[in-house]
Amino acid sequence: MRTTVGIIGAGPAGLLLARLLHRAGIDSVVLESRDRGHVEHRQRAGILEQGTADVLRAAGAGERMDREGLRHDGIELRFDRRRHRVDLPALTGGRSVMVYAQTEVCKDLIALQLKEGGPLLFEAEALAVEGAAGDRPRIPFRHQGREDVLECDYAVGCDGFWGVARRAFPAALSRVFERTYPYAWLGVLADVPPSHGELVYARHERGFALLSMRSPSVSRLYLQVPPGTDTAEWPDDAIWTELGRRLETDDDWRLERGPITQKSVTPMRSFVHEPMRHGRLFLAGDAAHIVPPTGAKGLNLAVGDVVTLARALVHERRTGSPDLLGTYSATCLRRVWQAERFSCDMTTMLHPAPDGTPLDARLQRARLERIASSRAAETDLAEAYTGFPLG
């Protein structure tokens, strides 16, 4: 099998890259190890930055997002039983975010790729990336019980942290920066309307809590828990009771309860692999970087990567110049490190550490007080939350 761009992974990064290339007249093949149902139903991020939403619209993939997604113009910070709303458009010149689940983004992009784009092979397991330093990378893969090889001009690893693409980087070239946080998130989906119209980030002595949503009738909620927590340790009543404690305020706000339909535990870490390019192999999304979910940056960083890469590939096709491909890694990493910084700041500000001291607790509260009382500090948060420039 032969194509111009071989893409490993049909998550948002791989699917959006294929869509952008198709609209520019560049052919690609997408290999996805899982079946279509798994890709369309695995729960991940749900907050789209302004730039991400704009890219989906420009790619012809924003119709359902604009119809069913929920535009949010603010977030709420809670601490010491107090509430502080951050007005995103007022602080950023009009920017907002969109609540639209990653599962729905994938469904939209899959439908478009199967209807208009190049081959999208499910249950096609990439086995390696070979020859990245040469002119013709090769991706051996297994599909429907048979082994084949995808030959391409460029290979792109959108295959996540555990994928094969990053393994093709020489050890002498790779630099890894990482941090594991001493807490995790217990996340639940509940069939109950959200108890607040915007996301609520709460710092509490008992641990962090987040009130989010997937739709006007489905709530997405999180609790800080120890790493390795088993969901069986948390019956539904205990989850609702703990959420009520951590989200409690001094006014008449109340947490609405309903049937919990799904539980999961998410570990938290920061990870960056440098560089993001080796020869004709490029990394995008979780294959190159992971952020703690507090800053809502994971999916959005992946979008920034593939927008930058698509622009570089189109530039090379139209001008013959590889200049933008040569600066792909440096361009992406500027945005990646700002997102890592913001996500780490949000995480350490809102999560009491298991070994935290009274001084640590006071410093967390002081950081929150600063945001609540300083327009400059509040603007810095709002600008980061709604998204750093793409590319």
Q: Which residues are catalytic?
A: 72, 201, 293, 297, 385
- Nearest-10 Cα torsion for 311, 304, 274, 136: -40
Copy the structure tokens of residue 245: 């404690």
User: Greatest CA separation found in the chain?
Assistant: 65
Find out whether 18 and 113 touch, Cβ atoms under 8 Å.
yes
CA 124, distance to chain mean position in Å, is 23
Find out whether 155 and 287 touch, Cβ atoms under 8 Å.
no
Token pair 């990493």 in the structure block, residue: 333
- Phi, psi dihedral angles at 280 (to 5 degrees): -105, 20
Distance separating alpha carbons of residues 137 and 322, to the nearest angstrom: 17
275 vs 5, 12, 167, CA distance in Å?
19, 21, 13
Distance separating alpha carbons of residues 182 and 352, to the nearest angstrom: 10
- Phi, psi dihedral angles at 297 (to 5 degrees): -115, -15
Closest CA to 163 of 376, 8, 329: 8
